[in-house]
């Protein structure tokens, strides 16, 4: 069962907060903050945090699941739906773990294993302006405020966190049992990679599918190759020509 998300005023990262007290947290526990001092992205990269200007959220998954490697893909859809429902912002997902709007990064997903559990972290840019991204070398970042042309309400982080928890509550059971197959059709409809040229570790080609296990399928011109991990750059996203 997914709980109502708990708010903490400040933490190093919501994933780390959950890791420190994992023994006391139940499956489906969720926490969020608007002030994260040491956020991380994939491969240990620092996540540039703007105090009070973003949403940082983690849900704890303790039950065995059919396809844990695909959890970031399912989580990205929860974030997409919450943004659309609460703000009217329609974005896409960049395989495997980014939220994108018109080729710019709106948010990201970081799932980490911890003592038999998975900590699923979601970060979303909300209030930052163009100057913030420029000053931090994030020229391909974007916030909800920029998309909307106005500042979201002060209660936006709470509403987004609550909505994501509700979406997880409705969909996690199917994902636990069926894996990526439970969300595949919807993911395909939102995936920004499809139909574009991509480069990945060891090759390049055109992304044509995401298979039943969540792997990106690329037509290299010599055949189709399934990509399951590593860096993937996508034509037309983050300035890639």
pLDDT tens profile 22-46: 999 999 999 999 999 887 665 555 5
Token pair for 66: 């059919």
Which residues, in sequence order, are bridge partners of residue 207?
Answer: 218
pLDDT tens profile 166-190: 999 998 889 999 999 999 999 999 9
In the prediction, which pLDDT does 229 show? 82
**241 within domain boundaries:** no
pLDDT tens profile 199-224: 999 899 999 999 999 999 999 999 99
Among 188, 205, 220, where does a domain finish? 188
Residues 184, 190, 194, 199, CA torsion sign: negative
Same domain, 90 and 152: yes
Token pair for 41: 């992205």
Same domain, 147 and 205: no
DSSP per-residue string spanning 66-123: S-GGGHHHHHHHHHHHHHHHHH----EEETTTEEEETTEEEEEEEEEEETTEEEEEEE
DSSP helix/strand/coil, 28? coil
Query: Taking residues 142-161, what's their average pLDDT?
Result: 97
Number of domains in the chain: 2
Same domain, 198 and 181: no
CA–CA distance, 165 with 4 (Å, rounded to integer): 7
* Structure confidence at residue 56 as a pLDDT band (50, 70, 90): very high
Sheet-wide strand order for 224-227 = 224-227, 216-219, 203-210, 197-200, 232-234
CATH of the domain at 204: 2.30.30.100
Q: Are the C-beta atoms of residues 105 and 128 closer than 8 Å to each other?
A: no
Same domain, 46 and 108: yes
Same domain, 126 and 213: no
Same domain, 137 and 218: no
**1 within domain boundaries:** no
Q: How much is the mean pLDDT over the chain?
A: 93
CATH of the domain at 41: 3.30.930.10
Same domain, 64 and 136: yes
Same domain, 205 and 184: no
Listed residue (218, 234, 187) closest to 80, CA to CA: 187
In the prediction, which pLDDT does 7 show? 98
**239 within domain boundaries:** no
State which H helix or E strand residue 227 sits in.
strand 224-227
SS3 track for 135-176: HCCCCCECCHHHHHCCCCCCCHHHHHHHHHHHHHHHHHHHHH
**Beta strands at 224-227 and 54-61: parallel, antiparallel or unpaired:** unpaired
Same domain, 178 and 199: no
Same domain, 76 and 147: yes
pLDDT tens profile 93-102: 999 999 999 9
**C-alpha dist (Å) from residue 143 to 7, 107, 193, 221:** 21, 8, 21, 37
Same domain, 116 and 198: no
**98 within domain boundaries:** yes
Q: Are the C-beta atoms of residues 205 and 197 closer than 8 Å to each other?
A: yes
Same domain, 66 and 122: yes
**164 within domain boundaries:** yes
**58 within domain boundaries:** yes
Global pTM? 0.94
**240 within domain boundaries:** no
In terms of residue numbers, what domain contains 200? 194-234
CA–CA distance, 209 with 128 (Å, rounded to integer): 33
In the prediction, which pLDDT does 113 show? 96
């Amino acid at each position: 069962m997914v709980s109502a998300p708990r708010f903490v005023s400040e933490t190093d990262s919501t994933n780390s907060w959950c890791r420190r007290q994992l023994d006391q947290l139940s499956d489906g526990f969720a926490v969020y903050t608007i002030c994260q001092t040491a956020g991380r992205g994939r491969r240990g990269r620092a996540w540039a945090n703007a105090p009070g200007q973003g949403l940082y959220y983690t849900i704890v998954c303790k039950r065995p699941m059919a396809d844990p490697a695909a959890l970031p893909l399912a989580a990205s859809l929860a974030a997409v739906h919450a943004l659309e429902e609460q703000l009217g912002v329609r974005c896409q997902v960049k395989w495997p773990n980014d939220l994108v709007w018109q080729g710019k990064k709106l948010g990201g997903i970081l799932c980490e294993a911890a003592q038999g559990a998975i900590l699923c972290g979601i970060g979303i840019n909300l209030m930052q302006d163009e100057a913030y991204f420029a000053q931090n070398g994030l020229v391909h970042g974007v916030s909800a405020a920029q998309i909307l042309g106005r500042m979201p309400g002060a209660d936006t982080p709470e509403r987004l966190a609550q909505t994501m928890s509700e979406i997880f509550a409705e969909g996690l059971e199917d994902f636990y049992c069926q894996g990526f197959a439970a969300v595949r059709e919807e993911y395909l409809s939102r995936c920004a990679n499809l139909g574009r040229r991509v480069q990945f570790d060891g090759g390049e080609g055109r992304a044509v599918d995401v298979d039943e296990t969540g792997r990106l399928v690329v037509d290299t011109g010599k055949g189709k190759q399934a990509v399951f991990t590593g860096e993937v750059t996508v034509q037309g996203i983050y300035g890639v020509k």
